[in-house]
Copies of this chain bind each other. A is one copy, B any other.
């Protein structure tokens, strides 16, 4: 069986370990903290148990997945013989530089080193490495074992064969890969989320709508189609003549919205003035873990539903 190394045993690393094991890979997970190394097997076991409860994996497969997982006691042990390294270190350029250099020295040059970073383009930490041709960003959406989308962001030096190899591994893991042709801050997922949040903060900050009502615009409106069809396909189907017809009909309207009101609607201002009070009244901070568990249950049920429809 082929082996994948997961470096870093936090939430993202745990999620990746589940993804790779579910696909049939042997997984070695390593974390520099001894505490994490002691507990990570059990936390992953719990994640798998939740997936079994949601009927996303069978109990039989769940057992197998655990058998395929080992917790390594050193970086060397983790990466030995691995065909791919998924790095989940802290989000700091200097740490990424040091960690990736270590990995680069340990691992054969044809093995891709993918980073889960959501904010640091690979060029910022790999430029000076011998193995910069095999470094790239492989960014999952949290939680990685439930959300299929993965962004693949090559650096200017990443070889096409490395991108192809990562893409193939991700296909084997039933991931939906988003390939970026060049590096850009925030990649695609967070840029789209950021654009929508920006307008949401402006609308709530200008007193046009409450956060609760704004949420309905997505959760009971746009988000329904978007859960099985992206925004481009959505507009292509929303005019008899497809996307060109849609832009002809509605482009001027959309582009005419004045998106920049002159009130102080920066995010922290809106949070201070109203948003924080409203959201914390709806879900007090102490209730967040329970609400997160509820969210993940719904997410698993939705994923199961999508598999059947």
Contact = CB atoms under 8 A, between A and B. Distances in A.
Interface in A223-251: 223-233, 235-238, 240-244, 247-248, 251
Interface in A95-110: none
Interface residues of A, number: 103
A195 interface: yes
Q: In the complex this chain forms, how many copies of it are found? A: 2
A192 interface: yes
Interface in A180-206: 180-182, 184-186, 188-200, 203-204, 206
Interface string A280-306: 101101001001100100110111010
A283 B244 contact: no
A177 interface: yes
Contacts of A151: 217
A231 B292 CA distance: 14
B242 A230 contact: no
Contact of A195 (B184, B195, B266): B195
Contact of A191 (B185, B203, B301, B309): B203
Contact of A253 (B119, B141, B209, B309): B119
A149 B220 contact: yes
Q: What 8 A-B pairs have minimum CB-CB distances, sorted nearest first?
A: A215-B230, A149-B221, A223-B226, A227-B227, A195-B199, A176-B220, A194-B254, A211-B232
Interface of A: 119, 141-142, 146-149, 151, 176-182, 184-186, 188-200, 203-204, 206-233, 235-238, 240-244, 247-248, 251, 253-259, 266-268, 271-272, 275-276, 279-280, 282-283, 285, 288, 291-292, 295, 298-299, 301-303, 305, 309
